[in-house]
Every structure is written in C-alpha cells, then in structure tokens.
Amino acid sequence: MATAPSPLSTTAGDLCLGSAPDSWGIWFPEDEHQVSRTRFLDELAAAGYQWLELGP
C-alpha cells in the first residue's frame, strides 16, 4: 500500500527550508492563456501544498 510522501523541509536553527511552487501572477489581464487565481489555488491545494511564494 502506497503512502503519501512527507513534506520536504529541513530546519536548521531558526531557518526552515522547503519546496514551494512558483507564485501566481498576471502577465496580461486580457490574455486568454492567463491562469485564473482560483484555478492556481485549487491546483496548489490539490497537490498538497500549504504555502506558496508570494513573488512580485
């Protein structure tokens, strides 16, 4: 039976490192290929992420 992978993170003192997906942003608001924020957040949660990079 397969088990879910544990979160990848490392703690060193007060520093905690982990993996995170790229941040969501708007390239051009009218671009038909722009991923909506709700789709991005839904896919992020479905993949098991609890945090994301805020980015510019």
| Residue 40, SS3 per DSSP | helix
Q: Percent of the chain having pLDDT more than 90?
A: 4
What average pLDDT does the chain have? 74
* Residue 36 backbone phi and psi in degrees, to 5: -70, 155
In this predicted structure, what is the pLDDT of residue 42?
A: 92
Q: Quick one: pLDDT at residue 14?
A: 77
Q: Show the tokens assigned to 18.
A: 């982990």
Q: What is the pTM of this model?
A: 0.55
Q: How confident is the model at residue 44 (pLDDT cuts 50, 70, 90)?
A: confident
Residue ranges per structural domain of the chain = 1-56
